[in-house]
Amino acid sequence: MNQLQVQGHSGHSTIYIDSAISELKNLRRGRRMFIITDENVYRYHSTLFPDADEIIVVPAGESSKNLEDVSRLYERLIDADIDRNTLIIGIGGGMVTDLAGFVAATLLRGVACGFVATTVLAQVDAAIGGKNGVNIKGYKNLVGTIRQPEFVINDTAMLRTLNDDQFINGLSEVIKSGLIADRALFELMETHGPQIVATRQGLLGEALGRAARVKVDVVNRDEFESGERRLLNLGHTYGHAVEKITRMHHGFAVAIGMVVAARLSVQRNMLSADDAARIEQVIAAIGLPVSVDLGTDALMDAMRKDKKRQSDKVNYVLLDAIGHAVVTPIEYSELERTLDDLRRPHA
Ligand SMILES: NC(=O)c1ccc[n+]([C@@H]2O[C@H](COP(=O)([O-])OP(=O)(O)OC[C@H]3O[C@@H](n4cnc5c(N)ncnc54)[C@H](O)[C@@H]3O)[C@@H](O)[C@H]2O)c1
């Protein structure tokens, strides 16, 4: 079986690529086990769940990722006499893995945890790397920890029940992984992206495995986001602003952000116009948006308020090739001018 290893200061994690939820019973190693999942994952997949001491089902969606729900989970686990020889398992997308990971990291000052990742986004990004957190006062992931899960099981078959938007949403992060660090992955999405969307099999496992490897490699070099981990934010500065204003899916907004980052890279003579056009085509071919009609003022305002802002500059992730990204500080004034330029129809 295909495995990747995260070797962090906050722990060691094995990522089982293209694996199956049935692997859980081997990884349990006789421990008491509590499963945290959401109502959609439970509805579609509970028959695959192994026996557990308790299965706790939270409402689906981002609104469950908050301190009140965390507190309710603590209470249920304490009532069930949880002890240090217990395994907490999050089975779900990034919402569930963030929530379960945070509960496991903080209850009893740390209980072992593992994840079964059931969305594309969780399999290539959210479940890997040990970051977990909850939202507070409308701010995302402002309370959290960095602590590696013991393992992550990526079960590709469970992705078949995702709706089309959720499936494509995660593929945006797959394209991102290719763009920042794996040209062959980008090319795989270029040649087979639409087929992967249509069939949800074939080269899907290969694409997800390669994308997970990009995340693992970055985390292994920079677990606490002091430098290289920022490369994972390609498309996110602009994408977060679009997401905030329009409330569109995260991956959709990041797709538009990646197109903008590619065009910015062309303007700075880092990337060829041909490569930027290829990027746009790959994104569009799998059904992700490449543009949105928003005014520069609203976008600039949202970007300035983003927590990654640093004084009058923003650390923007640009591309100097397909498969290679660089963090570049850009003055807000330059960004504003460029966004205005980008709004004009280009040849
Ligand atoms: N910790 C990190 O490093 C990190 C990185 C990126 C994103 N995140 C977090 O991840 C979350 C987004 O992740 P997501 O997109 O997976 O969202 P999600 O977990 O909310 O899942 C999206 C939707 O799909 C449903 N779902 C999940 N698996 C399913 C399946 N197999 N079949 C049918 N439906 C299924 C869920 O119930 C939900 O309605 C956000 O909270 C974000 O902050 C964390």
118 lines ligand 1 (CB under 6 A): yes
What amino acid is encoded at 50 in this protein? P
Q: How many helices (H) and strands (E) does the chain have?
A: 13, 11
Looking at residues 216-227, what average pLDDT do you find? 88
Residue 302: phi and psi, rounded to 5, are -65, -40
Q: Contacts from 136-141 at CB under 8 Å and sequence distance 24+?
A: 136/66, 136/67, 139/307, 141/98
Beta strands in 251-323 (DSSP E): 313-321
Of 10, 48, 65, 95, the residue with max ligand 1 atoms within 8 A of its CB, to mutate for a pocket test, comes to 95
Q: What is the 342 CA–ligand 1 centroid distance (Å)?
A: 32
- Residue 308 clears pLDDT 70, i.e. is over it: no
Contact between 144 and 94 (Cβ < 8 Å): no
pLDDT over 70 percentage in the chain: 97
Of 63, 66, 121, 135, the residue with max ligand 1 atoms within 8 A of its CB, to mutate for a pocket test, comes to 121
Going by their DSSP bridges, the two strands 139-146 and 86-92 should be labelled as unpaired
- Residue 312 clears pLDDT 70, i.e. is over it: yes
> Which residue in this structure is represented by tokens 């992730």?
317
Looking at residues 168-175, what average pLDDT do you find? 98
Return mean pLDDT, the chain.
94
pTM (global) more than 0.85? yes
Write out pLDDT tens, residues 271-294: 999 999 999 999 999 999 999 999
60 lines ligand 1 (CB under 6 A): yes
pLDDT score for 228: 84
pLDDT score for 347: 44
- Residue 307 clears pLDDT 70, i.e. is over it: no
pLDDT score for 138: 85
Confidence of residue 342 (pLDDT cuts 50, 70, 90): confident
Contact between 197 and 285 (Cβ < 8 Å): no
